[in-house]
Structure 1
Amino acid sequence: MCKIAPKIIETTGVHFQTMYEHLGELLTVLLTLDEIIDNHITLKDHWTMYKRLLKSVHHNPSKFGIQEEKLKPFEKFLLKLEGQLLDGMIFQGCIEQQFDSLNGGVSVSKNSTFAEEFAHSIRSIFANVEAKLGEPSEIDQRDKYVGICGLFVLHFQIFRTIDKKFYKSLLDICKKVPAITLTANIIWFPDNFLIQKIPAAAKLLDRKSLQAIKMYRDTFLQQKAQSLTKDVQSYYVFVSSWMMKMESILSKEQKMDKFAEDLTNRCNVFIQGFLYAYSISTIIKTTMNLYMSMQKPMTKTSVKALCRLVELLKKRVISDKKYSEQRLDVLSALVLAENTLNGPSTKQRRLIVSLALSVGTQMKTFKDEELFPLQVVMKKLDLISELRERVQTQCDCCFLYWHRAVFPIYLDDVYENAVDAARLHYMFSALRDCVPAMMHARHLDSYEILLDCYEKEIMEILNEHLLDKLCKEIEKDLRLSVHTHLKLDDRNPFKVGMKDLALFFSLNPIRFFNRFIDIRAYVTHYLDKTFYNLTTVALHDWATYSEMRNLATQRYGLVMTEAHLPSQTLEQGLDVLEIMRNIHIFVSRYLYNLNNQIFIERTSNNKHLNTINIRHIANSIRTHGTGIMNTTYPFERAEKFNRGIRKLGITPEGQSYLDQFRQLISQIGNAMGYVRMIRSGGLHCSSNAIRFVPDLEDIVNFEELVKEEGLAEETVKAARHLDSVLSDHTRNSAEGTEYFKMLVDVFAPEFRRPKNIHLRNFYIIVPPLTLNFVEHSISCKEKLNKKNKIGAAFTDDGFAMGVAYILKLLDQYQEFDSLHWFQSVREKYLKEIRAVAKQQNVQSASQDEKLLQTMNLTQKRLDVYLQEFELLYFSLSSARIFFRADKTAAEENQEKKEKEEEIKTSNGDLSESTVSADPVVK
């Protein structure tokens, strides 16, 4: 391209303004290349690294497979390439060429006529450009202004003359146009360019003028930031109105009698749309690139406004599929024919017409009032002929690649203002414009790497700032809606506002690269995955998540997938089989309550204690079947438990032997209580299952009835199964297995063997054990009021069950009753209570308050101890009933005598009765 300029300059025989315009376009391209290379830091860094690599090659060329004699020519070529391209001197190299012929030919620099013609053409072009800059009708004047500045520098470089007035006029443009975007994120400042390329001219301006020019940029940026919101509103109205006009003229049939008028109207609408696109594109590029170039932070309001302008830029009307290049040529030809010009409006024809008009204007063929309408028509013709290319250029948003930082802010705004969610399509359409430029990348092995990185980055931003936030908000809303009874938060719409997030799910899938982003499917998949995983963790919450699925369908239209997980509809607490496997742990960690038939966890690190009652056992039996009821206490486990009783020792906590003995007895009693609960739970489960049978005493045989009716074999088989089920349920509900009697019969012989002779005086240790238990029980209950987690309890009936069981095994009930232990305890505490009451009466007369308080505390302590002994007595008496040992020795002797008398009476032996009868009077 640098070789074209001298040839254009040397053709001094033809002085066309159009030629100067094309020369300005060429210089603009060269200037743009310089700016791109100057701003490409990565390219410079890699070039430096490459040159360093060559130095390493010098030391050992054979290692790299390079001939040493080829290195120096290659280095010279690199230096030449660096000087021509990478030093940012392409434009400078072009204008500093030798334009004068050295062989005595044309002398360009001394041709005053050419110099005057050159300067006149620049001023003429500038006059046309200046009038349009910053106006609504501006089309490409900014690009031409860049070319004019390049031509002015070229003129100075050739002729070394400066028009001071024109130089100031060029700089005054900075007041209206402080910066111009050449391409993508490359921004150009005309004042810097003119001062740098013509240092001599810079001396003509004082320091204030130069500072004022830079102040214009700051002022322009501040004003633009303040007016962006208003500009968005205005352009939104303009573009919407234009779209309606566009759709109207495209759908309306053309009338042959008004064909030219319709074509003119269409042209005007097309041109107006292009003007809107140019203005919007200029605002976006200039504002964004100025912020980046001046390194100033952009407010969220400005980012949102610019993103809305990008959306307007990507809006489109219904396309006419029949619209083609031939039709465009016809349209252009008819408009040209109306203006006395014939032929299709191709680029070559218009160039020839432009050159012809340039010749005509030089010869003053047309008057100014005749030439202006013609120029207007020609300008319209250029726009219409290149409408598609120009619109694509102005609506191209590839510059967003360099301003990806605005995308998160834009997504946050879309999320907060969900009412206008459909605009996401326009933004992603703009983001796709970056792809063609990346596909031309040559600095990577494959442009696909660049595309993959870009796609990954955009998707990560989209997930973080929209999709994931949307998923979390929908899940939160569903949870709070299902748990409204818990009043977890205040969702008063008058306080926290409302967002209709359902609008996101009405969007069509968004196309981006080779994928479609379906917001509805993304959120649905997230909810399905979350609900499934959480349901597997807590199966008892299946109903809650099922309700949340239904609510998601009703409120947001999300069609959820059923989890198809086993639903835990029964509340069974700890599983019976797990308790069986770890019965030794269970009896040591749980306390038994005899009256309510409930086990309570002794201690827990949580804020609650687990409990097990009959309902839990029944539900567990229903889950696993009634077969587990017979595995409650097998002989092997009982034998293992029996051996464990003998293993007494000192605990690390420093408990006494008596404490250990009491705990061991309590654990034995807990096992007995668990056996009782298993039996009760089994009966509860069986009674629930059999409750639909009307009469348990008279159950018909369905198999016989079906056979009598002669029904099919499948029906007979089904009836047989029904009879079997009814038989099992009837047997289970009426089963009277006495588990306690079985346990006594199994272990009693073992306990009464000579090797266990040391247990013959077990009943003697029961009184101190009960005293130890009472003290322990009182201590545990007092810890409840102190909010102490360790050692606090309100029940431990396992001790009473254990004592009752062991006394039955050793057949020592009569010996224990002979001690009259509880009677003596009752008498002892009542005696002490009466003595304290008597002392209180004496001390109340002397009015010694401290002593009275002491007496009151003593009486309260005695009352508590007496109450605890009474409760233990009642619990032990109840436990004895389970083992058929509820009668005292005296009651059993009396009952035994009565039975003997009944037997004698039934055998006719009346000797005893006659002896005791009254004497017969003869």
Structure 2
Amino acid sequence: MKQNNFLILFLFQLLPYEQSSLLELIKTDNKVLNKVITVYAALCSEVKKLKYEGEIKFYNGLLYYGEGVSDSCVVEGESQVQMGRFISFFQELSCFVSRCFEVVVNVVHQLAALYNSNKGVTKIIESSGVHFQTVYEHLGELLVVLLTLDEIMENHGTLKDHWKMYKRLLKSVHHNPGKFAIPEEKLKPFEKLLFKLEGQLLDGMIFQACVEQRFDDPGEGVSVSKNSAFAEEFALNIRTIFTNVESKIGEPSEIDQRDKYAGVCGLYVLHFHIFRTVDKKLYKALLDICKKVPAVTLTSNIIWFPDTFLMAKVPAAAKLMDKKSVQSVRAQRDAYLQQRAQTLTKDVQSYYVFVTSWMMKMEAISSKEQRNDKLSEDLSSRCNVFVQGILYAYSIGTIIKTTMNLYMSMQRPMTKASVKALCRLVELLKAVEHTFHRRSMVVADSVSHITQHLQSQALNSIGTAKKRVISDKKYSEQRLDVLSSLVMAENALNGPSTKERRLVVSLALSVGTQMKTFKDEELLPLQLVLKKLDLISELKERVKVQCDCSFLYWHRAVFPIYLDDVYDHAVDAARIHYMFSALRDSVPTMLHAKHMESCDQLLESYDTEIMQVFNEHLLDKLCKEIEKDLRLSVHTHLKLDDRNPFKVGMKDLAHFFYLKPIRFFNRFIHIKAYVTHYLDKTFYNLTTVALHDWATYSEMRNLATQRYGLMMTEAHLPSQTLEQGLDVLEIMRNIHVFVSRYLYNLNNQIFIEKTSNNKHLNTINIRHIANSIRTHGTGIMNTTVNFTYQFLRKKFYIFSQFMYDEHIKSRLIKDIRFFRETKDQSDQKYPFERAEKFNRGIRKLGITPDGQSYLDQFRQLISQIGNAMGYVRMIRSGGLHCCSSAIRFVPDLEDIVNFEELVKEEGLSEETQKAASLLDSVLGDLTSNSAEGTEYFKMLVGVFAPEFRSIKNMHLRNFYMIVPPLTVNFVEHSIGCKEKLNKKNKGGAAFTDDGFAMGVAYILKLLDQYLEFDSLHWFQAVREKYMKEMSAVVKEQNVQATSQDEKLLQTMNLTQKRLDIYLQEFELLNFSLSSARIFFRADKTAAEETQERKDREAAAKAVPTCTDGSELLRDC
């Protein structure tokens, strides 16, 4: 097999090669006899070569035409292209057929010349008792080749359709040759060639044309049709061959009788066409065989019906048959299929016993040492065992081919039971072949000894006959011919048992057996010995032919049913090796396909189809069943379903894992490795999605190892701990939910859940983020920032709409004008009362059902923006934490060795170089990330700032003036939340919300309004306001200290405490805002930053930063 030669470590070639020519082998003193035998031997050798060429090259080329192209992906014009490639093949076939015709004519002429009824012509040799049956058998074989070509053409619908399309294409070209750039003078000869090929090959008349040739050749002086002696000899040989076939066909000892039967039918038709005589008795006998053998498989999926053939080719004899007889023969086909369907299971059981018994004998003779005193018996025993193996292979193969091809030809549905039984027979057939292959050492050693032993027996018989001839003193030319032929046979047997020598022996004995040279009790044993010699000499070739399952390509529809059966009966899983061996047999025959650019396309198509079916009907089912079994076993405490094997009938699938790798094409299919990989992949992916299930999958891995012997790979994923918290991936996907449900703490860099129905609130800190980044890789960081960018775009749209609202814009413009007019009187400070008035005034515009004003909602929007920025800050910190943790084993971050260069210097393998390159890349990424991290805040400012500061967004420049009312609103909200912490019902309670400060700082930076906001001196005004009120309260307390009004004093204390709380909250907000401003480089204005960037770009010629809003970052 071309694809698998590298897998076969050694191969025994048992067939000897003949070094001598036929002229050297056929060498006696009888010159005339030498010439006669040489002619027939040369013709028989030519027939064998033609038969081999026809079977290997032309049968397969025609059969596989149109294969390998699925109906769903046929390109227009592909059919014509395929036929265009095939024309040269047709030319070769035409030459082959012509050569066959010539050989048939020559054989007939040579035989007619030997058996000449013309008394005026001198006889070449005395032929009255000479019957060259071998020559007639070879002639029959050649006729069967032509007959098979006809049957292939007849049954090949695709070939005929494509031929018609090609002819139509040629007509189009003929009408417009200029368009196709083809000269008209070249087109006409090509059209003539096509017509010739169609008439010779495609009309199904190859055989008919052969037998209808003109065999009489007066110029050569050869008379055929009028040669009564030749006609009688021809008929005699047909009857003799048929008698031998009839006695064995359908019997256990049948070996090649069906092929010979087809040859006899061909010879009968040839005889009829030459001599125009009908042997009604023989015709009826030929048809009667059809009751036993309704059809004969000629090759692969080509089945031949002898009755149809005989009636079509010999119409004169068909008229003599009554209709009832004809109908009974045809009805036999249906009866055969019905009977076969009923007996197939029994046949399988019988052959199972026969084959296993035979395999035991093969094992016995191979392990038993030969005894010198019983050498002859031992060799005879071995010979019989080898022959028995071939007989079993032939019988099993015949049942499979005939049954499958009959079902397909008659378009009858096959039951699943029949399919399974036939597949079992295929396994037995390959088991026979495998046994011969496994014991090839013993077989190779035995064959040479057995052939020598058989040659010795044949020589003894011939020697006895020769002595008998020599002892008879009467001289005649006939007796001289006999003696010469026996000497020729002896000479041929004294040497290696090549096919040429055996052919010479057979032809020589055709002359040597006349005149009762051999007694009846001597002749039959000699013929048996020579038959065994044929079988043993061609043992390897015979086994290969009889066990060849290339026909399964045409019946591959049974493969899914077979796989389902193997899956259901896992105990016998090992038999799948035999089926794949059978499917592999199609590969050598496919190499002769000519309709594609390369036969590799056909092989690839076949490989893909078989593997898809194998995956679907066995591997994938097995993977899912194993996974299901592991899951249910691990979760038995849940009592999901009944796991009692006595009730459920569970299969022991472990048998599949004891199988050795299955060889198919250039690969090994290792079921155990396939399932292991599937489980590893599935467990890894599912653990990645839900890290909290790592323990369950770890337990399933251990169970897979214990129960099925699977060597599972550890996932090496960071096992999710209880402190893992929310996953970065989940937060990223639902960032809009996250920023509204979590509160940010700036100093501790932590997110705390607002409210929860659980006993505890979830928190997220840098450690959680670092664990998550370690799970998903650092690439998740950039992706997260991209998602945040998309989220901010949506929020800033709402922000812009609020700022553009007339009610808000008009109030802000009025406040800005007021501050500008009164700032000198108010010591450059924005009045607290004005901010409070704004906060209260907004409530008049309306409130939501839950009591929130528009300013409350705006504050929440800014808090969500701030939370998003806080999340980005935490991502960066978590990334640095993760990278520093990962790189802690690198000795010196400043001087990292380049592993790839070192590996290349050492000249290590390509895989090692790739690994070193990957290591360098990972170390480089970790070093850069741990050293500096990515300035995400700078990016998020850079991408939005130009749009915020543009002229079309002038309304946003009023933002700094709304900050004071927002801070008042925030402080009131914050105090309210903190007060709820002491209440029993803690709904809405919170102790931190630094997202607001982050949001305000970020937006002020985007608008470049830090200076404008600082010009309000807002927090100084707040401090002055509360300090003044507190001083007033203290004075009032001192005045009222002398009085004993406790209620009044208590009220004053509460007022002082409330003022202190408010001041403290404003101070906390001021500190948070100042801290947040540091992240955004509040010390520099937009103009200063722009100038600095220009200077840096001019110096470093760096790539400009992204300033459009299309995409912030690309995923790593």
User: What range is the shorter-chain TM-score in?
Assistant: 0.5 to 0.7
Q: How does 1:231-270 map to 2 (within 5 A)?
A: 231-270=347-386
What is the distance in 1 between the residues matched to 2:593 and 2:377? 47
Aligned match for 1:798, one of 976, 980, 987? 987
User: Residue type of the partner of 1:142?
Assistant: R
What is the distance in 2 between the residues matched to 1:55 and 1:800? 90
What is the distance in 2 between the residues matched to 1:149 and 1:362? 27
Q: Give the direction of change, closer, same or farther, for the CA distance of 1:646–1:388 in structure 2 (3 Å limit).
A: farther
Aligned match for 1:166, one of 276, 279, 282? 282
What is the distance in 1 between the residues matched to 2:371 and 2:682? 63
Q: Give the direction of change, closer, same or farther, for the CA distance of 1:649–1:895 in structure 2 (3 Å limit).
A: closer
Comparing 9-18 and 446-455, the one that deviates more = 9-18
User: Residue type of the partner of 1:401?
Assistant: Y
Counterpart of 2:693 in structure 1 is 541
Q: For the Cα contact (< 8 Å) 1:540–1:568, is it kept in 2?
A: yes
- Tell me if 1:556 matches 2:708: yes
Aligned match for 2:740, one of 576, 585, 604? 585
Aligned match for 2:198, one of 75, 82, 93? 82
Aligned match for 2:138, one of 22, 25, 47? 22
Q: For the Cα contact (< 8 Å) 1:36–1:186, is it kept in 2?
A: yes
Q: TM-score, normalised by structure 1?
A: 0.66
- RMSD value, Cα: 4.1
Comparing 350-359 and 573-582, the one that deviates more = 573-582
Deviations 1:299-341 (A, max 9, x none): 1111111111111111222324372675565354344345456
- Tell me if 1:219 matches 2:335: yes
Q: For the Cα contact (< 8 Å) 1:480–1:488, is it kept in 2?
A: yes
What is the distance in 2 between the residues matched to 1:198 and 1:191? 10
Report the Cα offset of residue 363 of structure 1.
Answer: 3.6
Aligned match for 1:330, one of 436, 452, 462? 452
Q: Give the direction of change, closer, same or farther, for the CA distance of 1:196–1:569 in structure 2 (3 Å limit).
A: same
Counterpart of 1:52 in structure 2 is 168
- Tell me if 1:430 matches 2:582: yes
What is the distance in 1 between the residues matched to 2:727 and 2:548? 67
- Structure 1: give runs of 5+ residues left out of the alignment: 589-596, 602-609, 626-638, 675-749, 764-769, 771-794, 803-808, 812-887, 898-922
Deviations 1:187-242 (A, max 9, x none): 00011101111122222222222222121111111111111111111111111111
Comparing 413-422 and 566-575, the one that deviates more = 566-575
Report the Cα offset of residue 103 of structure 1.
Answer: 4.0
Q: Which has the larger radius of gyration?
A: 1
What is the distance in 2 between the residues matched to 1:63 and 1:271? 64
Q: How does 1:815-854 map to 2 (within 5 A)?
A: none
Q: For the Cα contact (< 8 Å) 1:335–1:381, is it kept in 2?
A: no
Q: For the Cα contact (< 8 Å) 1:397–1:431, is it kept in 2?
A: yes
- Tell me if 1:450 matches 2:549: no
Counterpart of 1:826 in structure 2 is none
Report the Cα offset of residue 620 of structure 1.
Answer: 5.8
Counterpart of 1:278 in structure 2 is 394
Q: TM-score, normalised by structure 2?
A: 0.55
Comparing 431-440 and 98-107, the one that deviates more = 98-107
Q: For the Cα contact (< 8 Å) 1:599–1:611, is it kept in 2?
A: no
Q: How does 1:147-162 map to 2 (within 5 A)?
A: 147-162=263-278
What is the distance in 2 between the residues matched to 1:645 and 1:153? 117
- Tell me if 1:197 matches 2:302: no
Deviations 1:793-833 (A, max 9, x none): xx96426999xxxxxx999xxxxxxxxxxxxxxxxxxxxxx
Report the Cα offset of residue 446 of structure 1.
Answer: 0.9
What is the distance in 1 between the residues matched to 2:769 and 2:551? 68
Q: Give the direction of change, closer, same or farther, for the CA distance of 1:195–1:645 in structure 2 (3 Å limit).
A: farther
User: Residue type of the partner of 2:398?
Assistant: T
Q: Secondary structure at the match of 1:98?
A: coil
Q: Give the direction of change, closer, same or farther, for the CA distance of 1:169–1:647 in structure 2 (3 Å limit).
A: farther
User: Residue type of the partner of 2:455?
Assistant: A
Q: For the Cα contact (< 8 Å) 1:552–1:558, is it kept in 2?
A: yes
Report the Cα offset of residue 751 of structure 1.
Answer: 10
User: Residue type of the partner of 2:704?
Assistant: A
What is the distance in 1 between the residues matched to 2:261 and 2:646? 55
What is the distance in 2 between the residues matched to 1:138 and 1:424? 29
Q: Give the direction of change, closer, same or farther, for the CA distance of 1:534–1:192 in structure 2 (3 Å limit).
A: same
What is the distance in 1 between the residues matched to 2:307 and 2:204? 18
Q: How does 1:56-455 map to 2 (within 5 A)?
A: 56-103=172-219, 105-315=221-431, 316-317=434-435, 318-321=438-441, 323=444, 329-337=451-459, 339-340=461-462, 342-344=493-495, 345-455=497-607
Q: Percent identity?
A: 66
What is the distance in 2 between the residues matched to 1:560 and 1:462? 23
What is the distance in 1 between the residues matched to 2:105 and 2:377? 46
- Structure 2: give runs of 5+ residues left out of the alignment: 1-99, 116-130, 463-489, 744-751, 771-831, 868-963, 992-1022, 1027-1044, 1055-1116
What is the distance in 2 between the residues matched to 1:111 and 1:357? 25
Q: Secondary structure at the match of 1:564?
A: coil
Q: Give the direction of change, closer, same or farther, for the CA distance of 1:476–1:646 in structure 2 (3 Å limit).
A: farther
- Tell me if 1:8 matches 2:107: yes
What is the distance in 1 between the residues matched to 2:594 and 2:420? 34
What is the distance in 2 between the residues matched to 1:303 and 1:134? 22
Deviations 1:61-95 (A, max 9, x none): 35545432233222222222222222221111110
Counterpart of 1:488 in structure 2 is 640
Counterpart of 1:466 in structure 2 is 618
Q: For the Cα contact (< 8 Å) 1:650–1:656, is it kept in 2?
A: no
Report the Cα offset of residue 366 of structure 1.
Answer: 3.7
Report the Cα offset of residue 554 of structure 1.
Answer: 1.2
User: Residue type of the partner of 2:101?
Assistant: C
Report the Cα offset of residue 398 of structure 1.
Answer: 0.5
Q: Secondary structure at the match of 2:663?
A: strand
Counterpart of 2:903 in structure 1 is none
Comparing 271-280 and 530-539, the one that deviates more = 530-539
User: Residue type of the partner of 1:479?
Assistant: R
Report the Cα offset of residue 539 of structure 1.
Answer: 1.3
What is the distance in 2 between the residues matched to 1:645 and 1:528? 63
Q: Give the direction of change, closer, same or farther, for the CA distance of 1:101–1:565 in structure 2 (3 Å limit).
A: same
Deviations 1:739-792 (A, max 9, x none): xxxxxxxxxxx9999x99xx9xx99xxxxxx9xxxxxxxxxxxxxxxxxxxxxx
Q: For the Cα contact (< 8 Å) 2:362–2:385, is it kept in 1?
A: yes
Counterpart of 1:683 in structure 2 is none
Q: Give the direction of change, closer, same or farther, for the CA distance of 1:479–1:164 in structure 2 (3 Å limit).
A: same
Deviations 1:548-593 (A, max 9, x none): 11111111111111111122121665589979997872289xxxxx
Comparing 408-417 and 366-375, the one that deviates more = 366-375
Report the Cα offset of residue 47 of structure 1.
Answer: 2.0
Q: Secondary structure at the match of 1:405?
A: helix
Comparing 457-466 and 161-170, the one that deviates more = 161-170
Deviations 1:392-438 (A, max 9, x none): 10001100111110111111111111111111111111111101101
Q: For the Cα contact (< 8 Å) 1:598–1:613, is it kept in 2?
A: no
Q: Give the direction of change, closer, same or farther, for the CA distance of 1:55–1:599 in structure 2 (3 Å limit).
A: same
Comparing 97-106 and 323-332, the one that deviates more = 323-332
Q: Secondary structure at the match of 2:141?
A: helix
Counterpart of 1:523 in structure 2 is 675
Paired residue total: 672
What is the distance in 2 between the residues matched to 1:495 and 1:102? 87
